Amino acid sequence: MIDKPNGVSTLSAEENGILTLETPKAEEIARAIWQRQHAALSAESLSYHTQWRDQSIPPRFWDEFLLDAHAVLLLLHEKHSDYQNAREIGNVESPIAASPAVDPHARHCARDGTS
């Protein structure tokens, strides 16, 4: 289930043995987005030695990362709600078996016992 204490979405542990994860806070997601982009900079780049939330950069720059993080949280919340709604009406198989990363032939063979 997704709770929104203080406007931050978190996934709490569910019943029925379903594995859930706690969603990081927006600041953690924003920093991860920044780190990924920062890692792509060349050593000669002017921003290469910049640290997260460096005060020499206007706050508006950092706020953009927070907006991206909020978009990620919103998407996670929507997808979780979609999953919960589908599960309640019985239209969801195992999340792992339903993953597009799993070979459909392998899923079929696993269901009917053939190889």
pLDDT value of residue 51 = 95
Amino acid at site 115? S
pTM, full prediction: 0.56
pLDDT value of residue 38 = 95
pLDDT value of residue 76 = 87
Q: Using an 8 Å Cβ cutoff, are 23 and 11 in contact?
A: yes
Per-residue pLDDT tens, the chain, 115 aa: give them: 444 444 444 444 455 555 567 778 899 999 999 999 999 999 999 999 999 999 999 999 999 999 999 999 999 889 988 888 888 887 655 555 555 554 444 444 444 455 4
Cα-based distances in Å from 6 to 9, 25, 69: 9, 11, 16
CA-CA distance, 29 to 22, in Å (whole number)? 12
pLDDT value of residue 83 = 87
Catalogue the E-assigned strands of 1-115.
2-3, 10-11
Kindly compute the dihedral angle of the four CA atoms of residues 46, 49, 52, 55, in this order, to the nearest 10 degrees: -70
CA-CA distance, 85 to 1, in Å (whole number)? 11
CA-CA distance, 102 to 79, in Å (whole number)? 19
